[in-house]
Structure 1
């Protein structure tokens, strides 16, 4: 079984740390973190993670603009992106999926379940 590599892009340090620790403890995944979209895009390009967890609401460049940059960049367009958002509107979530997100996870999320949710939406749970 190969160890998955996940990139978490979120401007909130607490969220980055909770996700990182949760994924490392529950799945022993390698987790990279970025506190801005620009840093996240750079890490995604250099590290080629298996998936990206991306916050929608960020100060420098919002998650949708970041998603667009990632999907237009040949180096990162194949990396699945899961959006993290506090917005629970179904219409908004549908729009995110149409823009290329693989899934939308709602904040607050359960740290004990997030790795399982990632596996399910990306089809990793069948391996």
Structure 2
């Protein structure tokens, strides 16, 4: 995962929301954005665009945001790309469902254009920190297992030497 957010794949079917998001991300946020009007279009564009994050509308005709996320996760080249949902559906159980699907966060609509890029950066940073913590805990657990595996023999040798 890149250390810095540079490229955003925006998937939004509403042309007005897409236009505002493009201005917010490109002009205000200084990011490179590829805008797609549907999930299918995003699936075609994603492998070549190599986004740092996907900003994905939930409710779209044809292929919903959750369907698009599942399809992105099935492809090796997009499996690890972080996804943030952007939606008006932000009741607690809905947000929990999006996070369970694998999204790293949810940005409520209507969003604040002046801070959209910063919100994405914050979510991406928190995701990187969470991944690093999980990796650290996994390494710690493996080391603990290695230590405990040889502990019986070491204690037996110490008792024998004592």
Runs of 4+ in 1 over 2 A off after TM superposition: none
Compared with structure 1, are the counterparts of its residues 71 and 3 closer, same or farther at alpha carbon in structure 2 (3 Å cutoff)? Answer: closer
CA RMSD of aligned residues (A): 1.7
The alignment status of 1:54 with 2:59, answered yes or no, reads: no
**Which residue of structure 1 aligns with residue 70 of structure 2?**
68
- CA displacement 1:4-33 (0-9 Å, x = unmatched): 011100110111111111111222111100
Structure 1: runs of 5+ lacking an equivalent: none
Kindly tell me the number of residue pairs found equivalent between the two proteins. 125
Larger strand percent: 1
Larger helix percent: 2
**Which residue of structure 1 aligns with residue 23 of structure 2?**
21
Instruction: Tell which deviates more after alignment, 18-27 or 102-111.
Output: 18-27
- CA displacement 1:56-106 (0-9 Å, x = unmatched): 000010000100001111110111110011112101101100100010111
2:91 to 89, 92, 97: 89
Compared with structure 1, are the counterparts of its residues 92 and 3 closer, same or farther at alpha carbon in structure 2 (3 Å cutoff)? Answer: closer
TM value normalised by structure 2: 0.73
Structure 2: runs of 5+ lacking an equivalent: 129-162
**Which residue of structure 2 aligns with residue 5 of structure 1?**
7
